[in-house]
């Protein structure tokens, strides 16, 4: 780990100011990616701005139509929230399957979404449920948020405040966890929402993506059989020692069918 | 001791004697009771004391500069910048160690190994220099300031290519050395040929047999991965001339001898202390460069020096296990009676032969590969070869190469059964060595001490309803569900060993115990072994409690400090109970003999009139006339018979007459998700026979632990390399270490067949379930695949690989599983057997390194001439690359360039040489190459680029680019898989900038806009995502 300065602001404005003061400042939320990169000496921020003391960033609010989760809310808080479980059980399930207890007790939804790791679980929920990302500057629709590998629509100085999840009619998340890391080798969130069927995939590509062909098939017939023959193109998918693009493409179909069957 | 077995048979009197013995054992905490582990109190309260917990005044820290290359010559090492850093005390390289003769060190296998890279590096992450600084952060900072210039050499990654004609020479130091430590070397990358058995007789059996089967199999390279990595604190006292080293060692006494020999410090002035050890599994047997360099640093600086590995260093540099490329053959009669076995192995030992085997056994006890079966004729041959990979080849939770031997025979017997259409239990029962054949002389030279194999297997078959399981499997198959049943009936060889054929560096493999009984009847005992989690403090105490009739709660067991413990060879190969446990019983018996004399003196009777009561002595026939051990202990210090020395203590050095041969019968039931390849271990039943059971609870714990690691190896662990020698997946993000979440439920059972030659009949059990578990899992998966005509698939059986097989069989699509055409994986034809090259591993390392070639066409909305003008200008071209710039022009066509990359918080800077190879105005083509390393010295990259402008007419053209990028080092290990994606995006950004630059030369609003963008420079690069992959690879679970 390299030496760095450490700040713990209590307001968003203060945090943004601190981040703007130094070219190599970095915000830290739960730190489940950043701390590892610091320990491995891959990151060398001059200043760390810890968002953990900004109270307004934390918490869960549920009304009949929307679940609003503050950016600093920890995975286990979402997983164990009876309100979330009642409103969007798929979201609570997803949060409860992230990493292990240690990660879930520290990692945050805002950190995960802003990082946009190709194998993270939350991006599938944001995209699959058609959520809105609220930042200190604007509101960004999920469809516009995830750009590419570790790249999002967030601009410098822009911090996620909360994620707004519309409550779907039914939804499910099914994940195939790589056993060593428990990251998603592939994960599928399917949801029947007021705006139609949405199906988002994580783990398989550069970032979370939707599968329009499956969505269209499911719009007419929300059943596993409806998408039996709908394959995603393996060409663009990730390749690593845990699985080939062909395997991931195959898994997406299998998991999508299982998610449709599990949706509630 | 055969009578011991019969004693278990019930008669009324033995039953009451038994219950009395059990009651006594429970009261004393003696042999046979489920005593809780005494060491756990401190561990579960966080009060253990590990090497990294040790703090000393004035202590400084060492960290290694490591090689990003698998094979390279070192042209220069510049330490100036590192040494100029405040807080840095020293930078040690091979040159500094050479005057002391410590730049190389001998290995346990009779080879030698570089301590620090001497002129070249032979594996990735090899130790090149050590920086010593005030704290570990400073030390790590300064490693990046040590400048090492490498000249890359072709690496050899695949052992099959290692002995090819013209293969790169890995070990320059062995040039002209034809005679190795184990006989003739037949190639410059060959280490040894070791064979055993009667080759001619075996050939004859095979040529005459009605049935023969042959199967290639790869036992992949894995790593023991103990939770605590390796490390040490070395402290040299200049005044006394004494060296103290605290280190993670399974064999501290041997380390003391090695250190004394290497350093020339008298052995009495070398103090080795192995404190609490967080798991070893064979990884902590050897002496590593870190220990040696830290010690030298302490001697040079006169201060204590601490060196602790991180996880990646542990997985990528300190001893791996396995990497055996095997071909098994069985000859049999048509009804399944095995007549002969032939085994050929190509053993990948890495860059140095630092296997931790007894000196005379370069392939360990691989000749236990006839297993539990009465095979009269056999031949085994192992050829060890060098490759550009980390050295090792340790016994990962097993006795020397016994896991490999067990795997080949247990897989082969299934292959034969499948070939004959015979049931896999039936073929085992037909070929077992029968109980009455013990002691049994095996065809490959061992004398098995005792066993009852049929009883063990039948007990398991009954407990699991084996026939019912087979019926269920058949029904399931008809329904399209895939289920496998694995059996493994293994025999281990442990407890090395008799000094007539087992030694480490010339020291016989005895072990020792010293027991002192204090006046008040409490006890301290010390052994030459070293617990790493096995529970020695509990189980040795139980042996003493039973032998001396004193409560184990007052018996303290100490190990690991070479100043106080008697000399022993350490703990590995399940040798503690067979050897030091025997020494413990023998030392206790010496004390008991003396106690008998004191008792006779106290009771004023003849010794012959006394009998042992379990807690003291009583007069035969007069049960109420007795004396207990605490009374005798007190008397030992104030009232001994005339002529007897006072005191009550003994030491015993036990040289075992033979190895012990624990065995077991395991059964595994696996359900396979045909659509994803996921496996569910529905049932795992493990029956172990380790002879006398000292603490059944500790045994169950050992069996559970060994099964967890067996599960890990069979189902997920692997250390793969790419073709350039970059290790892939050496972190816990990729390397499978199962937790309670993934681990199946275990059922345990036992039979008891004591060892006839061990003082208490115990055989050792710490590794049985690892040795027997792995083939059992593998047999279960293969059994499931056998139904579809597949004879063998290699480990690890992770979901992807299982799916791959199912996919080739098209089973992942169709609902009906039955009636699938038999399938054979494609294999190269094997050459004549007998030569090492006959072993074809079905899974070879890919021929390629971490590299990609990308060819793309990008249409540009500008005239070709304008585009070409910019393409010729290297500075402008470079400026199109986000974060890149030319620092200096060093010649007509050569430049020094820099490239800074940033992804969120992650930064990396590459610096290197760029050469323009050619500019061809006619074809508007530019060719250039670049190569360099990141500023941290942990990765390097090289690139070649050809770019051409093609005129498309009408003021438009196309940029045709072709680039080849190769990565080495940390980025290749962890981020290489993202290379294509990242490179593609980098090129896209390059082209966008290039377009702007060309457009900026024009007129109008668009040109204005382009000029503005050029002015701004390329958008901050968010492309080094492979670095994120690295981070992700390091424990983060999100």
Convert the pLDDT of each residue in B689-715 to its tens digit: 999 999 999 999 999 999 999 999 999
Backbone dihedral region for residue B570 (phi beyond 0: left; psi -120 to 50: alpha; all else: beta): left
Write out chain A residues lying below 8 Å of B737, CB-based: 180
Give bridge partners of residue B618 from the DSSP assignment.
Answer: B611, B626
Mean pLDDT (whole number) for B397-413: 97
B977 interfaces chain A, CB cutoff of 8 Å = yes
Q: What is the pLDDT of residue B213?
A: 97
Helix and strand element counts for chain A (H, E): 11, 14
> Cα(B1001)–Cα(A181) distance, rounded to whole angstroms?
51
Measured between CB atoms, which of B675, B908, B1020 is closest to A254? B675
Q: How many Cβ atoms are within 10 Å of B32's Cβ, its own excluded?
A: 18
B45 interfaces chain A, CB cutoff of 8 Å = no
Q: What is the pLDDT of residue B12?
A: 66
Write out chain A residues lying below 8 Å of B1036, CB-based: 32-33, 35-36, 103
> Cα(B792)–Cα(B790) distance, rounded to whole angstroms?
6
CATH of domain B51-153+229-277+284-317: 3.90.1170.50
Mean pLDDT (whole number) for B294-306: 97
Q: Model confidence at B976, in pLDDT bands (50, 70, 90)?
A: low
Contact B451, B651 (CB under 8 A): no
Q: What is the pLDDT of residue B1037?
A: 33
Length in residues, chain A: 264
Nearby residues of B839 by Cβ (< 8 Å), 6 or more positions away: B160, B216, B325, B326, B327, B344, B345, B346, B830
List the one residue out of B306, B289, B348, B349 whose CA is nearest residue B106.
Answer: B289
- Going by CATH, does the domain composed of B850-1032 fall within 3.40.50.720? no
Q: Which of B230, B369, B398, B776 is catalytic?
A: B398
* Nearest chain A residue to B805, by CA: A247
Contact call for A100 and B739, based on CB within 8 A: yes
Q: Do A198 and A252 belong to one domain?
A: yes
**Measured CA distances, B163 to B167, B246, B372 (Å):** 7, 40, 34
In the block, tokens 């996880």 appear at: B311
Mean pLDDT (whole number) for B77-87: 97
Give the minimum alpha-carbon distance from A252 to chain B in angstroms, rounded to a whole number: 10
First to last CA, chain A: 46
* Nearest chain A residue to B728, by CA: A241
B988 interfaces chain A, CB cutoff of 8 Å = no
Which residues 642-701 in chain B show a CB within 8 A of chain A?
675-678
Contact call for B798 and A36, based on CB within 8 A: no
Q: What is the pLDDT of residue B1007?
A: 81
Contact call for A37 and B738, based on CB within 8 A: no
* pLDDT by position in tens, chain A (length 264): 888 999 999 999 999 999 999 888 999 999 998 888 888 787 788 999 999 999 999 999 999 899 999 999 999 999 999 999 999 999 999 999 999 999 999 999 999 999 998 899 999 999 999 999 999 999 999 999 999 888 899 998 999 999 999 999 999 999 999 999 999 999 999 999 999 999 999 999 989 999 999 999 999 999 999 999 999 999 889 888 899 999 999 999 999 999 999 998
Contact call for B1036 and A179, based on CB within 8 A: no
> Cα(A121)–Cα(A181) distance, rounded to whole angstroms?
13
Q: Which domain holds residue A129?
A: 55-166
Coil/strand/helix, residue A8: coil
Q: Do A17 and A63 belong to one domain?
A: no
**Measured CA distances, B384 to B109, B188, B921 (Å):** 11, 12, 55
Q: How many CA atoms lie within 13 A of B184 on its CB side?
A: 2
Write out chain A residues lying below 8 Å of B735, CB-based: 180
Residue B874: asked if its preceding bond is cis (omega within 30°), the reply is no
Instruction: Give Cα B728 to chain centroid, integer Å.
Output: 15
3-state helix, strand, coil in chain A (%, to 5): 35, 25, 35
* Nearest chain A residue to B717, by CA: A180
Lowest mean pLDDT among A73-82, B419-428, B862-871: B862-871
Q: What is the CA radius of gyration of chain A?
A: 18
Q: What is the pLDDT of residue B980?
A: 65
Listed in sequence order, the DSSP H helices in B485-558 are: 536-548
Contact B456, B687 (CB under 8 A): yes
Residue B398 annotated to the active site: yes
* Nearest chain B residue to A108, by CA: B1038
Contact call for B800 and A148, based on CB within 8 A: no
Starting at the edge strand found earlier in the chain, the sheet holding B231-237 runs: B88-92, B127-133, B60-66, B305-308, B231-237, B242-247, B270-273
The answer, yes or no, to whether residue B1036 has pLDDT greater than 70, is no
- Residue-wise pLDDT for B592-640, tens only, equals 999 999 999 999 999 999 999 999 999 999 989 999 999 999 999 999 9
Write out chain B residues lying below 8 Å of A254, CB-based: 675-676
Residue B1011 annotated to the active site: no
ipTM: 0.96
Write out chain A residues lying below 8 Å of B1020, CB-based: 156
Q: Which of B250, B532, B989, B1029 is catalytic?
A: B250
Mean pLDDT (whole number) for B263-267: 95
Contact call for B676 and A254, based on CB within 8 A: yes
Q: Do A216 and A142 belong to one domain?
A: no
Contact call for A181 and B908, based on CB within 8 A: no
Contact A210, A127 (CB under 8 A): yes
The residue among B15 and A204 whose pLDDT is bigger is: A204
> Cα(B235)–Cα(B183) distance, rounded to whole angstroms?
39
* Nearest chain A residue to B734, by CA: A180
> Cα(B179)–Cα(B186) distance, rounded to whole angstroms?
9
Establish, for the pair of chains A and B, how many residue pairs have beta carbons separated by less than 8 Å.
143
Contact A171, A231 (CB under 8 A): no
Burial B913-932, CB ≥16 within 10 A → b, else e: ebbbeeeeeeebbbbbebbb
Residue B397 annotated to the active site: yes
* Nearest chain B residue to A47, by CA: B905
- Residue-wise pLDDT for A98-150, tens only, equals 999 999 999 999 999 999 988 999 999 999 999 999 999 999 999 999 998 88
* Residue B258 structure tokens: 């090695």
Which residues 728-787 in chain B show a CB within 8 A of chain A?
728-729, 732-739, 741-742
Contact call for B1037 and A103, based on CB within 8 A: yes
- Residue-wise pLDDT for B620-633, tens only, equals 999 899 999 999 99
* Nearest chain A residue to B721, by CA: A241
Q: What is the pLDDT of residue B968?
A: 78
Contact call for B734 and A241, based on CB within 8 A: yes
* CATH number of the domain that residue A136 is part of: 3.30.465.10
Mean pLDDT (whole number) for B462-490: 96
DSSP 8-state class, residue B303: S
Q: Which of B615, B700, B709, B767 is catalytic?
A: B767
**Measured CA distances, B710 to A179, B140, B492, B707 (Å):** 15, 35, 15, 5
- Residue-wise pLDDT for B487-531, tens only, equals 999 999 999 989 999 999 899 999 999 999 999 999 999 999 999
List the one residue out of B491, B540, B570, B513 whose CA is nearest residue B767.
Answer: B491
Write out chain A residues lying below 8 Å of B720, CB-based: 241
- Residue-wise pLDDT for B54-69, tens only, equals 999 999 999 999 999 9
Contact B694, B32 (CB under 8 A): yes
Angle at the Cα of B595 from the Cα atoms of B591 and B597, rounded to 5 degrees:
125
Where are chain B's structural domains?
A: 51-153+229-277+284-317, 191-223+320-496+660-831, 511-654, 850-1032
Q: Do A209 and A233 belong to one domain?
A: yes
> Cα(B124)–Cα(B121) distance, rounded to whole angstroms?
8
Q: Which of B185, B342, B397, B1013 is catalytic?
A: B397
Give bridge partners of residue B18 from the DSSP assignment.
Answer: none
Give the minimum alpha-carbon distance from B488 to chain A in angstroms, rounded to a whole number: 25
Domain count, chain A: 3
Write out chain A residues lying below 8 Å of B796, CB-based: none
Contact B610, B602 (CB under 8 A): no
Contact call for B1030 and A254, based on CB within 8 A: no
* Domain stop point among A166, A190, A210: A166
B905 interfaces chain A, CB cutoff of 8 Å = yes
B511-654 folds as: Aldehyde Oxidoreductase; domain 4 (3.30.365)
Q: Do A48 and A62 belong to one domain?
A: no
Which secondary-structure segment (H or E) carries B649?
A: strand B649-654
Contact call for A150 and B739, based on CB within 8 A: no
* Domain stop point among A135, A166, A197: A166
DSSP 8-state class, residue B577: I
* Domain stop point among A16, A36, A53: A53
List the one residue out of B327, B330, B328 whose CA is nearest residue B210.
Answer: B330
Coil/strand/helix, residue B192: strand
Q: What is the pLDDT of residue A42?
A: 76
* Nearest chain A residue to B814, by CA: A228
Q: Do A122 and A19 belong to one domain?
A: no
Pairing of strands A66-70, A132-135: unpaired
List the one residue out of B364, B473, B375, B463 whose CA is nearest residue B423.
Answer: B473
The answer, yes or no, to whether residue B93 has pLDDT greater than 80, is yes
B939 interfaces chain A, CB cutoff of 8 Å = no
Contact B219, B778 (CB under 8 A): no
Q: Do A158 and A186 belong to one domain?
A: no
* Residue B555 structure tokens: 């018996």
Angle at the Cα of B802 from the Cα atoms of B797 and B806, rounded to 5 degrees:
160
* Residue A31 structure tokens: 């730190």
Give bridge partners of residue B507 from the DSSP assignment.
Answer: B504
List the one residue out of B319, B307, B349 whose CA is nearest residue B572.
Answer: B319
Hey, CA dihedral for B603, B608, B614, B619, is it positive or negative? Answer: negative
Measured between CB atoms, which of A115, A238, A250 is closest to B812? A250
Measured between CB atoms, which of B140, B735, B936 is closest to A180? B735
Which of B65, B708, B717, B905 should we substitute to test contact with A (largest number of A Cβ atoms within 10 Å)? B905
Residue B22 annotated to the active site: no
Q: Model confidence at B832, in pLDDT bands (50, 70, 90)?
A: very low
3-state helix, strand, coil in chain B (%, to 5): 30, 30, 40
CATH of domain B191-223+320-496+660-831: 3.30.365.10
Q: What is the pLDDT of residue B1025?
A: 42
DSSP 8-state class, residue B1034: T
Q: What is the pLDDT of residue B907?
A: 60
Contact B30, B24 (CB under 8 A): yes
Same fold, B51-153+229-277+284-317 and B511-654: no
């Amino acid at each position: 780990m390299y030496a760095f300065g450490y700040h713990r602001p209590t307001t968003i404005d203060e945090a943004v100011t601190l981040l703007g003061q130094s070219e190599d400042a970095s915000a830290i939320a739960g730190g489940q990616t950043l701390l590892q990169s610091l320990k491995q000496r891959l990151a060398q921020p001059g200043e760390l701005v810890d968002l953990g003391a900004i109270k307004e960033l934390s918490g869960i609010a549920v009304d009949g139509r929307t679940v609003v989760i503050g950016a600093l809310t920890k995975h286990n808080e979402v997983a164990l929230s009876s309100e979330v479980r009642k409103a969007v059980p798929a979201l609570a399930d997803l949060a409860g399957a992230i990493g292990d207890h240690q990660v879930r007790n520290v990692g945050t939804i805002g950190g995960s979404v802003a990082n946009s790791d190709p194998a993270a679980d939350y991006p599938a929920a944001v995209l699959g449920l058609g959520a809105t990302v609220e930042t200190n500057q604007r509101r960004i629709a999920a469809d516009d948020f995830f750009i590419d590998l570790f790249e999002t629509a967030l601009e410098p100085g822009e911090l996620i405040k909360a994620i707004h999840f519309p409550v779907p009619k039914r939804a499910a998340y099914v994940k195939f966890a790589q056993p060593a890391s428990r990251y998603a080798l592939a994960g599928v969130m399917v949801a029947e929402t007021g705006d139609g069927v949405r199906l988002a995939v994580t783990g398989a590509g550069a970032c979370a993506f939707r599968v329009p062909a499956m969505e269209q098939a499911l719009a007419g017939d929300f059943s596993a059989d409806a998408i039996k023959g709908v394959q995603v193109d393996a060409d663009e998918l990730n390749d690593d020692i845990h699985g080939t693009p062909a395997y991931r493409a195959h898994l997406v179909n299998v998991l999508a069918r299982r998610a449709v069957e599990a949706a509630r | 001791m055969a009578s011991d077995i019969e004693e278990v048979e019930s008669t009324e009197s033995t039953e009451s004697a038994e219950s009395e013995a059990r009651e006594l054992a429970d009261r004393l905490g003696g042999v046979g009771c489920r005593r809780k582990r005494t060491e756990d109190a401190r561990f579960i309260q966080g009060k253990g004391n590990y090497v990294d917990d040790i703090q000393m005044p004035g202590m400084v820290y060492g960290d290694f500069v490591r090689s990003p290359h698998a094979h390279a010559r070192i042209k220069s090492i510049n330490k100036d910048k590192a040494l100029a850093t405040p807080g840095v005390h020293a930078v040690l390289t091979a040159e500094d160690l050479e005057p002391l003769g410590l730049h190389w060190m001998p290995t346990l296998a009779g080879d030698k190994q570089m301590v620090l890279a001497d002129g070249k590096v032979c594996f990735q992450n090899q130790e090149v220099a050590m920086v010593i600084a005030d704290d570990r952060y400073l030390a790590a900072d300064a490693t990046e300031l040590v400048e090492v210039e490498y000249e890359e050499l072709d690496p050899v990654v695949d052992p099959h290519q290692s002995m090819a004609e013209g293969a790169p020479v890995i070990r320059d130091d062995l040039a002209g050395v034809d005679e190795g430590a184990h006989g003739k070397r037949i190639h410059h990358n060959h280490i040894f040929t070791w064979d055993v058995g009667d080759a001619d007789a075996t050939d004859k059996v095979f040529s005459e047999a009605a049935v023969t089967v042959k199967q290639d199999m790869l036992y992949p390279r894995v790593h023991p991965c103990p939770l605590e990595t390796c490390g040490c604190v070395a402290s040299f006292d200049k005044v006394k001339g004494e060296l103290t080293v605290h280190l993670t060692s399974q064999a501290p006494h041997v380390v003391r001898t090695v250190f004394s020999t290497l350093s020339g410090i008298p052995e009495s002035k070398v103090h080795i202390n192995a404190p609490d050890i967080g798991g070893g599994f064979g990884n902590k047997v050897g002496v590593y460069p870190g220990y040696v360099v830290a010690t030298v640093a302490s001697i040079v600086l006169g201060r204590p020096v601490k060196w602790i590995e991180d996880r990646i260093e542990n997985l990528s540099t300190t001893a791996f296990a396995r990497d055996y490329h095997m071909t098994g053959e069985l000859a049999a009669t048509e009804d399944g009676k095995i007549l002969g076995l032939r085994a050929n192995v190509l053993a990948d030992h890495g860059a140095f032969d630092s296997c931790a085997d007894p000196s005379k056994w370069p392939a360990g006890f691989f000749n236990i590969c006839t297993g539990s079966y009465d095979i009269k004729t056999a031949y085994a041959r192992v050829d060890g070869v060098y490759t550009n990979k980390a050295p090792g080849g340790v016994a990962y939770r097993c006795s020397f190469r016994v896991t490999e031997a067990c795997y080949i025979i247990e897989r082969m017997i299934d292959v034969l059964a499948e070939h004959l259409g015979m049931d896999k239990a039936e073929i085992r029962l037909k070929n077992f060595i029968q109980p009455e054949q013990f002691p049994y002389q095996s065809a490959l030279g061992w004398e098995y001490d005792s066993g009852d194999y049929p009883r063990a297997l039948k007990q398991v078959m009954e407990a699991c309803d084996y026939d019912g399981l087979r019926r269920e499997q058949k029904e399931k198959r008809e329904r399209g569900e895939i289920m496998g049943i694995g059996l493994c009936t293994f025999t281990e060889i442990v407890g090395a060993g008799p000094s007539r054929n087992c030694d480490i560096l010339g020291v016989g493999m005895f072990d020792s115990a010293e027991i002192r009984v204090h006046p008040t009847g409490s006890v301290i005992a010390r052994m030459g072994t070293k617990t790493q989690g096995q529970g020695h403090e509990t189980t040795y105490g139980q042996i003493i409690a039973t032998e001396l009739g004193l409560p184990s709660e007052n018996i303290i067991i100490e190990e690991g400090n070479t100043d106080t413990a008697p000399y022993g060879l350490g703990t590995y190969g399940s040798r503690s109970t067979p050897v030091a446990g025997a020494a413990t019983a023998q030392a206790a018996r010496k004390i008991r003999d003396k106690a008998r004399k004191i008792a006779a003196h106290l009771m004023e009777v003849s010794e012959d009139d006394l009998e042992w009561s379990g807690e003291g002595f009583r007069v035969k026939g007069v049960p109420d006339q007795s004396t207990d051990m605490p009374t005798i202990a007190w008397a030992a210090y104030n009232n001994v018979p005339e002529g007897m020395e006072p005191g009550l203590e003994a030491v015993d050095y036990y040289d075992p007459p033979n190895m012990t041969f624990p065995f077991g019968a395991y059964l595994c039931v696996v359900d396979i998700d045909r659509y994803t390849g996921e496996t569910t271990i529905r049932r795992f039943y493990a029956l172990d026979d380790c002879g006398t059971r000292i603490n059944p609870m500790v045994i169950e714990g050992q069996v559970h632990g060994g099964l967890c690691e067996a599960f890990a190896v069979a189902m997920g662990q692997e250390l793969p390399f790419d073709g350039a020698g970059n290790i892939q997946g050496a972190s816990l993000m990729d390397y499978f270490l199962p937790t309670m979440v993934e681990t199946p439920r275990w059922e345990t059972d036992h039979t008891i067949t004591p060892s006839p030659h061990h003082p208490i009949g115990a055989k050792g059990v710490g590794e049985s379930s690892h040795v027997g578990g792995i083939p059992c899992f593998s047999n279960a998966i293969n059994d499931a695949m056998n139904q579809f005509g597949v004879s063998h698939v290699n480990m690890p059986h992770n979901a992807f690989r299982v799916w791959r097989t199912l996919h080739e069989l098209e089973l992942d699509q169709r609902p009906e599983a039955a009636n699938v055409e038999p399938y054979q994986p494609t294999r190269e034809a094997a050459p004549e057997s007998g030569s090492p090259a006959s072993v074809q591993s079905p899974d070879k390392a890919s021929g390629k390194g971490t590299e990609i070639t990308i060819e793309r066409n990008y249409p540009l909305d500008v005239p070709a001439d304008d585009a070409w003008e910019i393409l010729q200008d290297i500075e402008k071209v470079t400026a199109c690359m986000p974060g890149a710039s030319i620092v200096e022009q060093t010649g007509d066509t050569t430049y020094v360039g820099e490239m800074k990359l940033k992804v969120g918080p992650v930064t990396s800077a590459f610096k290197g040489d760029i050469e323009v190879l050619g500019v061809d105005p006619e074809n508007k083509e530019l060719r250039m190459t670049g190569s360099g390393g990141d500023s941290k010295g942990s990765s390097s990259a090289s690139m070649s680029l050809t770019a051409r402008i093609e005129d498309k007419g009408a003021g438009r053209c196309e940029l045709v680019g072709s680039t080849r990028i190769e990565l080495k080092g940390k980025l290749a290990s962890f981020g290489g898989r993202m290379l294509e994606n990242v490179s593609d995006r980098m090129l896209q950004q390059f082209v966008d900038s290039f377009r702007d630059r060309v457009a900026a030369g024009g007129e109008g609003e668009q040109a204005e806009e382009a000029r503005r963008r050029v002015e701004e420079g390329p958008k901050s690069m968010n492309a080094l995502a492979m670095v994120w992959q690295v981070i992700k690879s390091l424990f983060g679970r999100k």
